Chains A and B, each alone.
Chain A
Amino acid sequence: MKNKWLSVPYIVWMAIFVVAPLILVLIYAFTSRSGGFTVENFTTMAQYVTVFGRSFFLALIATLVCILLGYPLAYYLAREGAGMRRMATMLIMLPMWMNFLLRTYSWMSILENTGLLNTLFQKIGLFALINSVFGTNIEYFHMINTQGAIVLGMVYNFLPFMVLPIYTVIDKIDYRVIEAAQDLGANTRQVFRKVIFPLSLPGVLSGITMVFVPAVSTFAIPRLLGGGMVTMLGDLIEAQFMGSAYNPYLGSAISLVMMVVVLICMAVMNRFGEGEEGAVVL
């Protein structure tokens, strides 16, 4: 069953449709509108520093929230019985079958000033209560079109990508290893800190990658939940290719820089992750 040649077509395919496009991005990034070599695309990017900063910041927050929600969820899931576990993993996958734009759009209905949540608060008399206590005159909470809403959208959309890898890793942990730790004097908290958590780190790391990367590059979420008030990297790139500021060269340059920064982040994190493993030991 040693059919090495079977890999050849796919390697060719990857060369054409994975590697070549990225090389094109690289070339475009150093090309001017007139077609010559230039680094101007990178110098003009200086004005986008805030966009870069904001995107990475929001993605980071979203990733953190995903860990905070996703890790306990994955952990608790792994402790459930087999039937429950299977159902729960299914429930985590299932939303993906409803287009993410639509689900995000649905958040608009929920978060708007006149949306479902505010209506609910209104109905239960929350605003009346607040107004009477604080003497304010609130009619709604302002939730939509804020950075918070964008983070919420990211967390909502990418949470499953955090939960699933962590769950998979925790689920694979040999229960005897946990018993061994108890046997050696570790109480429940120590078992978690010294055994379960370090063993689940690979899952956390891949979860972080799977949340952070799409979060930093999203453009649909800020557009739907941010109301055009917040520009993010994805918007910027999209605008260069599909939007008002048509300039694929600049777009390529931005993509390239984003890719490189993400790669660096991931590399640092992986290194840090390994160090973390050592640190947990000590």
Chain B
Amino acid sequence: MKKNGFWSRLFMVLVFLFLYAPIFVLIVFSFNATKSRSVWAGFSLQWYVKLFSDEAIMEALRTTLLVSAAASVVACIAGTAAAIGIYALKRKSRGIVLSVNNIPLTNADIVTGVSLSLLFVLAVNAFNSTFGTRWELGFWTLLIAHITFDIPYVILSVLPKLRQLDPNIYEAAQDLGATGFTAFRKVILPDLMPGIVNGLLIAFTMSIDDFVISYFTAGSKVSTLAMEIYAMARRKISPEINAISTLLFASVLILLILINIRQSRQDRLAKRQKAILATKK
């Protein structure tokens, strides 16, 4: 394919500008001296300082990170196991399972959230009236909801890796004396790792970004950062939220840049080795 000319490059720049303009605004105003989100009143770090003493925000942040981390890790393990199981299924049953697996992905978030909340409320009420307990929607239902919508992402990123897997590798490991589980751990797992890690990342990102499903399933006690923001947006979002989001954003940015640098270094290394290989021949 031809390389891009000036106009296509310009187009790309403009689209990226569109994507980043609000983020830029948000970051800039996290350093604003006043609460205003449209009038610049001077540079200040006050929101970053206040942030750490704001119990509600810190609590929401903790919940968000905890739920996202727990859900994505659980989803990662469960999803990998499920993917292996699904891969072993017969063609037809695999098709059925996969289309059910797709429901949370293609269904509207609000329907997923609403339907889960119906289930949770029903289950909690039934449980409470039978056992006289006082359970309610909360962290656990939130976690279950997150796991439920995270698993499909993990499965979808692990399955292709399974398909790429050389079927003989597992046998080769057994052939060399590894028992079933050892062979899995030493050979299959490392091979699936890129898919699993990718799935973990997507799941974590989706959990962090989710608002709608959390909103319907978190109950009254806990709230995620997104819910906190939604509640605040009714009146005025505290620049503290801008500050915390800027921090999150910056750390992910740095992380990604580091990964990127490592990746390109590896690429270059691999390329050089291949080149050496070619000249040797």
Q: Is A213's CB under 8 angstroms from B108's CB? A: yes
Known: A9-B82, A13-B151. A255 touches B111 (CB 8 A): yes
Grouping DSSP codes into helix (H, G, I), strand (E, B) and loop, the B interface class, with mixed when no group exceeds half, is: helix
B216 contacts the other chain (CB 8 A) = yes
Question: CB within 8 A of A178: which of B1, B9, B38?
Answer: B1
Least CB separation from A8: chain B residue: B85
B126 contacts the other chain (CB 8 A) = no
Interfacial residues of chain A within 152-202, with CB under 8 A of chain B in the complex: 156, 159-160, 175, 178, 188
Least CB separation from A191: chain B residue: B1
Question: CB within 8 A of A214: which of B18, B37, B108?
Answer: B108
Q: Is A100's CB under 8 angstroms from B252's CB? A: no
Question: CB within 8 A of B229: which of A17, A79, A91, A99?
Answer: A99
A219 contacts the other chain (CB 8 A) = yes
Known: A92-B19, A97-B252, A103-B22. A7 touches B89 (CB 8 A): yes
Known: A10-B85, A24-B119, A220-B212. A95 touches B23 (CB 8 A): yes
Minimum Cβ distance to chain A for residue B101 (Å): 7
What is the CA–CA distance of A258 and B225 in the complex, to the nearest angstrom?
28
Task: Output the residue of A90, A115, A159, A216 with the most chain B CB within 10 A.
Answer: A90
B4 contacts the other chain (CB 8 A) = yes
Least CB separation from B249: chain A residue: A98
The tally of residues in B whose CB lies under 8 Å from a CB in A reads: 82
Q: Is A95's CB under 8 angstroms from B97's CB? A: no
Minimum Cβ distance to chain A for residue B150 (Å): 12
Q: Is A19's CB under 8 angstroms from B100's CB? A: yes
Interfacial residues of chain A within 6-38, with CB under 8 A of chain B in the complex: 6-11, 13-14, 16-22, 24-25, 28
Known: A94-B256, A252-B114. A76 touches B233 (CB 8 A): no
Given contacts A82-B267, A101-B229, 6 further A-B contacts (CB under 8 A): A5-B85, A6-B81, A28-B118, A98-B245, A109-B37, A237-B111
Which 3 residue pairs across A and B have the least CB separation, nearest first? A7-B85, A6-B85, A21-B115
- A residues engaging B (CB < 8 A)? 1-11, 13-14, 16-22, 24-25, 28, 69, 72-73, 76-80, 82-83, 86-88, 90-110, 112, 114-116, 119, 156, 159-160, 175, 178, 188, 209, 213-214, 216-220, 224, 234, 237-238, 241-242, 248, 251-252, 255, 258-259, 262, 266
